[in-house]
Every structure is written in C-alpha cells, then in structure tokens.
Structure 1
Amino acid sequence: MQSRRETLKQSLAVAGLLGATGMFPQFAWAFNKSAFEAKSVADAVKAYGGAAPTESKDVTLTAPDIAENGAVVPMAVASTLPNVKHLLVLVEKNPSALVAKFDVTPAVDANFGTRAKMGQTSDVYAVAITSDGKAFFAKKEVKVTLGGCGG
C-alpha cells in the first residue's frame, strides 16, 4: 500500500509531465472571455459563432415558473436538432447573460441540467448552436422572489 506522501509525489510528477507536454487541461481552452462578459443574449451567441437565434420547438428549456431562491435556480436544456455543437443557458437580466455552455459531440446526448443564480425576474434562454453556425432557442420567464445576485 502506498503512503499518502508517495501518492502525492506521483500525482505531482504526472501533472508535471502533462504540463510539460501541453496535455494538462488548461482553463484557457474552454474559457471564452467575450462570451462570459456578454451583456446580451445576442452577444453571447455571437461569441460562440452563432447567427441571430430563431425560436425552435426542437430546443427545450425546463425551469421553474417561480424561483423562491434566486441563488439556486434548477434548469435543464436539451435539443433534438442534428449537428448541435454548443448548448447555452442564458439569463437575460443577469450582469453577465451566459450562465453555462455545454459542448456537444455525436457521442454526447444534447441534454444537460444545471443550476443558475438569478438576481431578478428574467427571461431564460436555452440556445442550441449547430456546426454550421445556426442558432435556435427556447425561452421561458422565471419569476424570482428572493434575489441571488446580491439582490
């Protein structure tokens, strides 16, 4: 049985090797600063290469009608569209509209759940961006009774 110290040394050695070869997961790979700083739904979609979004019944958003606590609002997004590349969750009136981005591949079912922080009543959007740059959305108003973003 390995001691805790030996395990830690081996883990650090592996992390060092991965870092030296460029294979260590870097936060910069997935972070799109302009998308997360976007103040509007359209700007966030554009930051991920999507065109102006159009409403679609093939994109679904599940969220409560009333969120009693805006600090933790459960949401689920899904799409049955072919060639979906990204699924976004956006809250229109949040300081930064983009709440979550999920990458979709043919091996991944385009169906995700998350929790969002909402400071006030707002429209929430689920946006599917396809590999050809088209964007489709579903929208729902979520009423917040107790703000979660400092509200």
Structure 2
Amino acid sequence: MFRRIRLEALRSEPSFFASSYEEWATLSLVEWKKRLTDPVFVAFYNAEPVGMAGLLRQRASRMAHRATIIMVYVRRNLRGAGLASDLLRIVADHARTAGILPLELTVSAENTTAKRFYLREEFIEVGRIPGGLLHDGREIDDIVMMRRLSEQCALSEAT
C-alpha cells in the first residue's frame, strides 16, 4: 500500500516533492522496507490508499525531541474532505506520544494550498530556502514551517 500511494503522489504532484517518481519506482523491496523504519500513516477510502504522511525523527540525542513531517499527499479528488487534517492529527498525536516537542515540515512555495492548510493547522513559517528544490530546471523556494506540540516547550521559550 505504501509503495502504491507514494508512487501515485510522486507521479501526480512531481514539483511538490524533493524525490522523483523515477528514483522511487526503481527501488528494490528491501529499499522500500527501509523507508518504513520511521512511521508512515496511510489514509484509506473504500479500502483504497488515498493519502499519506510520514514522520522523520531527528537521530542526534540533542535533537531527538524534533521531528519532520514528510511525504504528505492526499489524492486530488478527495482534497477538502478533511483527510489531510485527519492525517495531520494522527501524525501529531503519534509525535506527541513519542516526546516530540516541535513538529517541522517543508512545503514548496508554489504549493500555496498546502501552505494555507498548514497555517490553518497552527504551523508558522520560520524560514525560506531560496531555490531549495530543482524541478525541470527551475528553482523553487522551500518554506520551512513548524508547530509546537507541547505547552511546556512554548512556556520554556517565554522564560
């Protein structure tokens, strides 16, 4: 299921992802399994995978309280139906349980719909990487966003 929805995402929205369809389509089964060492959440509709989101936790001990949401995708005809919010809630709940304090993500500056969605979901823009993504010879800015998952983390900043 993961392979199916990931390849669909890369094929249907190539300019929104850092990876390409071609990179992933040629992966061996072993490589696909390695990509599942971090949690990946898949949304289903009528028993079909229609969306996904992954969570990549920082490995360094002093950064292990941070994680990045990756591979977010919802099938185009189901956007606006609440699936993205549901996926984000599930990912955030899992991250909070795992001790994650700031939840981070990067979104293409050209994906204005996604950026507006993340702003509605209480993410804030914390930076921009000019030309962070190359697609068809074009440089596309990456927008870095984050959301605090713990009041304790927000309170420690205020002191």
TM-score greater than 0.5 by the shorter chain: no
Larger Rg: 1
Which structure has greater helix proportion?
2
